Amino acid sequence: MTPEMWVAVGILAFAIIFFVTEWLRVDVVALIVVIALMISGLLSPAEAIAGFSNTIVLTIAALFVIGGAVLQTGLAGIIGNQVLKVAGTNPTRLLVVVMVTVSLMSAFMSSTGTVAVLLPAVVSLAASVRISSSRLLIPLAYASLLGGALTLIGTPPNLIVSDLLREGGYQPFQFFDFTLLGVLLLAVGIIFMALVGKRLLPERAAVRELARLETPKEIVTRYALPENLFRLRVRSNSALVGKTVAESEFGSQFNVNIIELRRKPEVRTMVQVGESKLVWQDDKTRGVKPPVDMAFRTDDLVLVQGAPDDVALLAASWNLGVQLAQPEDDKALINQEVGLAEVLLPPDSSLIGKTLVELQFGGQHRLSVLGIQRPGTQEKLNLKTTSLRFGDILLVQGSWENILFLRKNQRDFVVMGQPEAMIGPVHRHKAPLAALILAGMLIVMIGDFMPLTTVSMLAGLLMILTGCLSIDEAYGFIDWKSIVLIAGMMPMSTALERVGLVGVVAESMTNTLGAYGPIWVLAGLFLGTALFTQVLSNTATAVLLAPLALASAYNLGVQPHAFLMAVGVAASMAFASPVASPVNTLVMGAGNYRFSDYVKVGIPMVLISALVAIIVLPWLWPF
């Protein structure tokens, strides 16, 4: 091997190690790869950053926006819930209907978004037929992955392998080219889950399964929050006047959380003529979740939550007036702006072993922890002194935006329930318009009337212009981590080809497996991709292995379509690990699954899918 090959191998090994261990975020690793390729001289700066202007990256970003609009308008929930109504009460029929529904939806929008939308409905349906949700949630996740293989836009790997065909001078895959194989894989997957998989799934109660079926008001009642709500009036001679929320140390010193601060608006001068003034003051008191730098004023009304003794000590220390909360104060806990959710600490959470005070949880996440529940104990845990453990459930309160932000840190938090469902779709009245735009996009894609990137960007723009979601919401729905990952790893595959490594590996594969025929190379590519996708993201796997598939086909002198479709489909077969795909992680807490549950059901699913693909692909795309 040449020195350039060793450098490329070193950069690739670094990326894989950090992808698997998650010592750094995947997007950070991808950026390091880009910089390393430039510094090493393997690629020029223009070549190293070319991924950020790649049409596939722009297409995927636009599809994130479209999926966000489908969620924001409630269209996804409308479609999913209507279909699930035909499920009936038979557990096997329910499993089949759930898998068919989620797969069809994930064929046109992100699998993660689909699972997030249907998760509450599936848990509720499981309860209605008196079965554990753990019997349905792994099938829900697996079906969303299988649904990605139904269409060209179902998942990023499909777009990646299609674009590589185009770059290689071959006819790219069309919208429904994946459909026949995808339908067969889905059918086999459903049959396996209905006959065998359901026997391998655990009959296990979720850690907080009941919480998923509760309304926000019921969660408030279960934590006895109404009994622990108090109004504090800031007196004119209180030492709190002029001090900021941070300086007041309500939480760190007194174990009391500020839910809302209510303050009458200031008197405003509308018109002044000489000494005569026309003034205006809104009589309505405004309530806000105060930032840490907000200073208290005389007559501020502070709604707080805490044990009565703690609140009494706080009031005495700062010379505050105290009164019981009123029934309408419950609305300050949950409304369109703020809410509450339960957050489970997974085994690898960095919070384990530390207290909330040590973590400065409120300042770092801009959320208040109203309570801690520990499975197996009824003891009331002190918010200041309790060292957190795996399985602890934190009841957090604050803005919906900050609550949902916790979900992005999957290593530290599993956000229980579905906070989006609590506030509901923001633009529900736009659902018919979103459906029209989505249908138009699909028609144009299917008819191949316009390039894929053009139509997806146009549809995304129309979603914004018509108010199906705002531009800020559109930016929020784009998974920038995935975008940077794809854009950053594309130059890695370019470098591997440039130094000749792809050719060396492809030649080795064709000399060994190719001696027995192209179908053995196809099998090796599918199984190798399926193995990699258990530890790497599906997009990173496709970016790295698709060039190998193309080079192998070239060395064998055969058409590459079957090889590349094998890589694209196998990259979605992330069944054997809870961290192989976000959807697996999403259902893990809800179903109270263990790592071994995914292994027992996932490995047979991967092998069955491989067998079907190896048999069908040479027939669909002859060598």
pLDDT tens-digit series, residues 66-94: 878 887 887 766 776 676 677 777 888 88
pLDDT of the residue at 284: 56
Same domain as 150, residue 39: yes
- pLDDT for the residue 82: 72
Per-residue pLDDT, 278: 57
219 assigned to some structural domain: no
State the average pLDDT over residues 164-184. Answer: 92
437 shares a domain with 412 = no
Same domain, 130 and 245: no
391 lies in the same domain as 459:
no
Statement: residue 118 has pLDDT above 70: yes
Positive/negative CA dihedral, 134, 137, 139, 141: negative
215-236 confidence digits (pLDDT tens): 556 667 667 676 788 899 999 8
Q: Tell me what the mean pLDDT of segment 456-485 comes to.
A: 88
Looking at residue 381, which CATH number applies to its domain?
A: 3.30.70.1450
Residues 493 and 549 both lie in one domain: yes
Angle at 455 between CA 452 and CA 456, to 5 degrees: 80
pLDDT at 503 over 80: no
pLDDT tens readout for residues 545-599: 899 999 999 889 899 999 999 999 999 998 987 767 778 866 776 677 887 888 8
- Those residues whose C-beta lies under 8 Å from the C-beta of residue 471, and which sit 6 or more positions away, are 464
Last residue of a domain, one of 332, 357, 376: 332
One domain, residues 390 and 437: no
Residue 207 has a pLDDT of 43
Asked, for residue 122, whether it belongs to a domain, the answer is yes
Q: What is the pLDDT of residue 208?
A: 43
- Domain assignment of residue 240, yes or no: yes
Tokens of 52: 């950020």
Residue 423 pLDDT greater than 60, yes or no: no
The verdict on residue 520 lying in a domain is yes
Rounded CA gap, 82 and 215, in Å? 21
Are 270 and 377 in the same domain?
Answer: no
Q: Which domain holds residue 294?
A: 226-332
Asked if residue 13 is part of any domain, the answer here is: yes
Report yes or no on 3 lying in a domain.
Answer: no
Q: Which of 147-161, 335-349, 557-571 shows the lowest per-residue confidence on average (mean pLDDT)?
A: 335-349
Give the mean pLDDT of the chain: 83
pLDDT recorded at residue 206:
47
Do 476 and 579 reside in the same domain of the chain?
A: yes
Query: What is the predicted pLDDT for the residue at 517?
Result: 86
Comparing 242-246, 485-489, 553-557, the range with the smallest average pLDDT is: 485-489
pLDDT in tens, 254-274: 888 888 888 877 655 555 555
pLDDT of residue 128: 67
The last residue of a domain, from among 332, 350, 381: 332
Domain total in the chain: 3
Question: Given CA atoms 606, 611, 614, 615 in this order, what sign does their dihedral have?
Answer: negative
In the chain, the percentage of residues whose pLDDT exceeds 90 is 26
pLDDT for 418: 56
Q: Residue 326 — pLDDT band, cuts 50, 70, 90?
A: confident
Q: Do 264 and 280 reside in the same domain of the chain?
A: yes
Lowest model confidence (mean pLDDT) among 38-47, 304-313, 577-586: 577-586
Residue 539 three-state SS: helix
CA atoms within 13 A on the CB side of 593: 32
Is 288 in the same domain as 346?
Answer: no
How many other C-beta atoms can be found within 10 angstroms of the C-beta atom of residue 514?
A: 19
Establish if 2 belongs to a structural domain. Answer: no
Do 165 and 296 lie in one domain? The reply is no
pLDDT classification of 212: cutoffs 50, 70, 90: very low
Is residue 215 one of the residues assigned to a domain? Answer: no
Q: Say if residue 144 is in the same domain as residue 191.
A: yes
User: What is the per-residue pLDDT for 117?
Assistant: 67
The CA-atom distances, in angstroms, between 217 and each of 139, 335, 368 are 30, 11, 18
Question: Does 210 have pLDDT greater than 60?
Answer: no
